[in-house]
């Protein structure tokens, strides 16, 4: 299976974001990738305004545009978006959804663990999901998690118990002191915990290599990564936009779990 992680920096303009990602997805498909993972908040970046005014259902313009593209290219695309959820007090909340579309699948995973940490409270505007989600791609079971979920090992173990051999993780990882170290450690730890491949696509860091400090909103630190079930970083990006490719053999999952039977 060839996986592509499309590391981009999205904006507060949904139409512009589609314009940014479409050529990247086409490029990834032309290089043989069949599972193409984009970051959390691909549809609309954090810190750009109210999420409820931008939220769409899975039959809305953003999701259907990616469904059409996935069908045309014969690939599966995973990308972060926002859907209407509920009203809490005076706030209209949304779901932070990972869209999965292509090869007969069109559904979403709603992020379970909202980012209520490091002086940010995502749950003020985002309703937590409750259901684990998997799908099948090229005969392999693929689980889905989003960003802050990666700090919760039981979710990854539960996905593995549902059969997941690969877990994709769309992410918009907040920058800050030691945050890149956290990201690199956690992606490896979750692969080892669950005996799975982790394919985690983060937003590129605003400013790339030339930035002094984060602006406060969860944006990205880059370093999208594919980790093997034995904890090896097979491929890893840097801070800047780009496409990261990895070829994986899911037979490695059974071998890793036999050697280290943690489940």
88 classed as catalytic: no
22 classed as catalytic: no
Catalytic residue from among 40, 56, 122, 165: 40
How distant, in Å, are the alpha carbons of 107, 172, 210 from that of 141? 15, 24, 39
Catalytic residue from among 111, 122, 127, 157: 111
147 classed as catalytic: yes
Catalytic residue from among 24, 122, 147, 157: 147
Tell me the catalytic residues: 40, 111, 147
């Amino acid at each position: 299976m060839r996986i592509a992680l499309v590391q981009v920096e999205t904006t507060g303009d949904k139409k512009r974001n589609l314009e940014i990602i479409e050529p990247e997805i086409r490029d990834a498909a032309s290089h043989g990738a069949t599972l193409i993972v984009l970051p959390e908040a691909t549809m609309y970046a954090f810190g750009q305004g109210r999420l409820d005014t931008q939220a769409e259902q899975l039959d809305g313009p953003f999701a259907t545009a990616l469904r059409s593209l996935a069908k045309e290219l014969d690939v599966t695309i995973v990308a972060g978006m926002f859907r209407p959820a509920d009203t809490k007090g005076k706030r209209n909340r949304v779901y932070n959804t990972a869209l999965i579309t292509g090869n007969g699948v069109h559904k979403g995973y709603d992020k379970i663990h909202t980012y209520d940490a490091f002086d940010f409270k995502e749950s003020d505007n985002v309703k937590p999901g409750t259901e684990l989600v998997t799908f099948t791609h090229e005969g392999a079971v693929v689980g889905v998690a989003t960003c802050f979920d990666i700090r919760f090992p039981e979710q990854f173990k539960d996905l593995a118990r549902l059969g997941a051999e690969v877990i994709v993780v769309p992410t918009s990882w907040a920058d800050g002191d030691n945050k890149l170290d956290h990201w690199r450690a956690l992606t490896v730890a979750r692969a080892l915990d669950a005996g799975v491949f982790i394919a985690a696509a983060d937003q590129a860091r605003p400013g790339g290599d030339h930035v002094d400090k984060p602006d406060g909103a969860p944006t990205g630190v880059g370093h999208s990564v594919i980790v093997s079930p034995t904890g090896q970083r097979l491929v890893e990006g840097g801070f800047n936009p780009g496409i990261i490719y990895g070829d994986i053999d899911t037979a490695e999952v059974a071998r890793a779990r036999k050697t280290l039977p943690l489940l």
